[in-house]
Homo-oligomer: A and B are copies of this chain.
Amino acid sequence: MQRKKHKQKSKLGMPPGSLVFTGVQKMAEVDICVFNYDETFENEIRAKTTDELIKLINSTKGVVWINIDGLHDEKTIEQICTFLDIHKLSMEDILSIGQRPKIEEYANYLHVVLKEINLDQKDDIIEFEQISFILKNNVLVSFQEKSGDVFDGVRRRIREGNGSVRKRGADYLLYALLDNIIDHYFVVLEIFGEKLEKLETELLENPDKSTLSKLHNFRRETLGLRRTVYPLREMVASIEKLDDLLFGSNNRIFTRDLYDHTIKVVETVEIFRDMTSSLLDLYINSVSNKMNEIMKVLTIMTSIFIPLTFIAGVYGMNFSNMPELKHKYGYFVILGVMAVVVLGMLYYLKRKKWL
């Protein structure tokens, strides 16, 4: 249950706005994929240079969705951001993984940062991937740490033109992508929840030492999730209050739906937290119960055999004058006495409900 950890590069002493990618490079080359569409056409390009991108943006009136997988090529990202007139601090945030989910309104664009989650099922560890969005007029740029995401449903809807994504602007596209990210939380939480229930069964039936460390792991992951999910709620709530020019008010009703989903995510995580702490109490108690059972066995064995052993010891003494020893049925009488002691002891234990 080794935890993967990526140490952030220290940026101490650098001036604010310094563009340094602080994460771990997870893929060889930055991959830029562009969707250009409106109600009437749809076009997919795998862009090579920034110039191509700029030319495209300048020439089209449709929505342009630029998806960038990989953040280690700081120069390319800077070029795109500079062309879009993005503030230095925004650029810094895009490159610094480890941002809290937030939404920031700038004069002429919107900057959204949040995390996508995935479950490393082997180790039951939740992995976070930072995704940033820049929304400016009809252009949406999405920045991801690595390839592979949860946007395939949206891509298909753009290609096939079903749903209303092609009929609406880049702000609706942003909403649709956010919706997919948050829906994916449910998928991960559901698997996580099932694992938690399996742990519960294990705990009630046959807890052992590894159960404890599994439980501890779940608890830690839940704590981590909670920290990610709380600011998410705030963030989604603030979408409703955005300037109309940045995020069209005709999308309001959808953001309300998004907010409902986010609340449910938060609640599910809260339930997990309560569950893990409830399971921990259960664990402590089963350990105590087990100890009690062990002690009972010990006490029963001791209580029965120690008096018997003592009696045997008495008649094992070598005194020259021990009248009982010479009695013909002495041995059998003593065996009888022992039997009585055992029965008495058993009766006593029965009455105490230890047997």
Contact = CB atoms under 8 A, between A and B. Distances in A.
A179 interface: yes
A223 B320 CA distance: 72
Contacts of A102: 260
Contacts of A163: 15-16
A327 to B, nearest CB: 8
Interface string A301-324: 111011111101111111111101
B89 A278 contact: no
A299 interface: yes
Nearest to A264: B100
B298 A184 contact: no
Interface of A is mostly: helix
Stoichiometry, as copies per complex, reads: 5
Contacts of A216: 204, 278, 281-282
A284 B283 contact: no
Interface stretch (A47-55, A125-133, A288-296): A288-296
Q: Which 9 interchain pairs have the tightest Cβ spacing? A: A13-B153, A15-B163, A312-B313, A315-B317, A319-B331, A298-B299, A316-B316, A305-B306, A309-B310
A280 interface: yes
A282 B3 CA distance: 17
Interface stretch (A61-69, A75-83, A239-247, A268-276): A268-276
A275 B274 CA distance: 16
Given A8-B190, A11-B183, 6 more contacts: A10-B187, A12-B150, A89-B257, A294-B296, A313-B316, A320-B330
B334 A319 contact: yes
Nearest to A280: B281
A183 B223 contact: no
30 contacts: A3-B197, A12-B183, A12-B187, A13-B152, A13-B154, A15-B164, A16-B254, A204-B213, A212-B285, A219-B278, A220-B278, A223-B275, A223-B278, A280-B285, A284-B285, A287-B292, A291-B291, A291-B295, A294-B295, A297-B299, A301-B303, A302-B306, A306-B306, A308-B310, A315-B318, A317-B325, A317-B331, A321-B327, A321-B329, A322-B331
